[in-house]
Amino acid sequence: MPGSSDKSAAPREKWVRFKLFASPQLDEALSNYLTEMGAQGVFEEFLEPGVSDLPEPDSQDERVLNAYFPSDADDAKRAARLQAYIDCLAELFPDQEKPTFNTELIVDPQWGEVWKRFFKPLRISKNIIVKPSWERYSATGRETVIEIDPGMAFGTGQHPSTSMCLEAMEEILLKDRTFPKWRVLDVGTGTGILGISAAKLGASTVLCVDIDPQAVEIAHKNVAVNHVGDRVVIVNSDVAKIKGSFELIVANLTAETLIKIKSHLVKMMEKGGYLVISGIIEKNRQDVEKAFTRDDLIQHRLIADKEWVCYVYRKPSKA
């Protein structure tokens, strides 16, 4: 566990522990979000009676989530992101006690390896398995194995916003025979998981775009590990600067960002092509539907998981 006092070890890694107090109804959503923020380990523990520093009377039902992040210049930004998410949860679930959290700096030279024991291969959909590089998994039948080392980038497949994208992509790329070749655009690629999956599901070419240079670096490594570098190109760019047309566009972002870039995304859609948008929480659903429900787009599918929704739109084949 974190907290080694061996002063002779070098270099000593610095970690930040986020300790969250939450009700059982919210712990899964928080755990998923922490993982997608880049947590290198999320562990749950139950509070013993009289231990909680939360208000009574329901302390016996409270539990603690411990999430560990490598400490760097973004520590404060992570705390702000987590607080914003907690504020959203409080609006969505007003009957639940609002989660609280604190942070603690931990120095330990070995914790960076210890957390890996808790990450195992995960089945995301019928055919897609996501696993870390240090775990072995033998694919059977039509299974597609995606190897991802998240680092500090978004996208491990565990969060509903990512898993719903993968589910939608799997249906489209494996079942639709409209196009002999699929050109795919992955907007906000993070770890590259969606772009890599598209290539492994049969896409001819995949363009992955992200404005975060660190995410781009991580995505490059994951593309190489998955041996899809001949079909996947990753660029550090704003999607507004991307030109061309694509049979499938996947954008796992926020509702606000999706609405902002809507016109450009629709413009790049090939006739008969698909647009998969995710990262949308229930309270923003109406705003997204209002923005994307238009004469030149047809809602093909809606996927929901807890407080998250994913839309699949299609552009009509006719001019």
Verify that 251 and 124 share a domain, yes or no.
yes
Any domain includes 38: yes
Verify that 169 and 307 share a domain, yes or no.
yes
Q: Which long-range CB contacts under 8 A does 47-53 form with residues at least 24 apart?
A: 47/21, 52/21, 53/21
Q: Decide: helix, strand or coil at residue 114.
A: helix
Write down the pLDDT at residue 37: 80
CATH number of the domain to which 205 belongs:
3.40.50.150
Is there a contact between 34 and 143 (Cβ–Cβ < 8 Å)?
Answer: no
Write down the pLDDT at residue 51: 34
Amino acid at site 272 = G
> Among 139, 112, 98, which Cα is nearest to 12's?
112
Q: Decide: helix, strand or coil at residue 213.
A: helix
Helix axes 24-36, 160-175, angle to 10 degrees: 70
Phi and psi torsions of 43, nearest 5°? -125, 140
Write down the pLDDT at residue 108: 67
Write down the pLDDT at residue 58: 39
Range(s) of the domain holding residue 148: 119-314
Domain stops at, among 60, 91, 116: 116
Verify that 273 and 178 share a domain, yes or no.
yes
Any domain includes 7: no
Write down the pLDDT at residue 54: 35
Verify that 173 and 62 share a domain, yes or no.
no
Verify that 68 and 23 share a domain, yes or no.
yes
CATH number of the domain to which 98 belongs:
3.30.70.120
Domain stops at, among 82, 116, 150: 116
Write down the pLDDT at residue 314: 96
Is there a contact between 266 and 296 (Cβ–Cβ < 8 Å)?
Answer: yes
Verify that 72 and 153 share a domain, yes or no.
no
Write down the pLDDT at residue 116: 64
pLDDT along the chain (319 residues), means of 10: 41 81 82 77 58 37 76 89 91 89 80 62 85 83 83 63 92 94 95 94 96 88 94 95 96 92 96 95 90 88 90 88
CA distance 146 to 222: 9
Write down the pLDDT at residue 160: 83
The two counts, helices (H) then strands (E), for the chain are: 8, 14
In angstroms, how far is CA 222 from the centroid of its own chain?
Answer: 15
Is there a contact between 244 and 216 (Cβ–Cβ < 8 Å)?
Answer: no
91 CB-near residues (< 8 Å, 6+ apart): 283
Q: How open is the CA angle 143-147-152, to the nearest 5 degrees?
A: 140
Domain stops at, among 97, 116, 135: 116
Give the total number of structural domains in the chain: 2
Verify that 79 and 159 share a domain, yes or no.
no
Q: How open is the CA angle 145-148-150, to the nearest 5 degrees?
A: 160
Q: Give the predicted TM-score (pTM) of the model.
A: 0.71
Is there a contact between 71 and 14 (Cβ–Cβ < 8 Å)?
Answer: yes
Any domain includes 215: yes
Is there a contact between 172 and 248 (Cβ–Cβ < 8 Å)?
Answer: yes
> Among 187, 299, 293, 300, which Cα is nearest to 244's?
187
Verify that 154 and 221 share a domain, yes or no.
yes
Write down the pLDDT at residue 215: 84
Looking at the DSSP bridge assignments, the partners of residue 278 are: 252
30 CB-near residues (< 8 Å, 6+ apart): 20, 22, 65, 85, 86, 89, 99
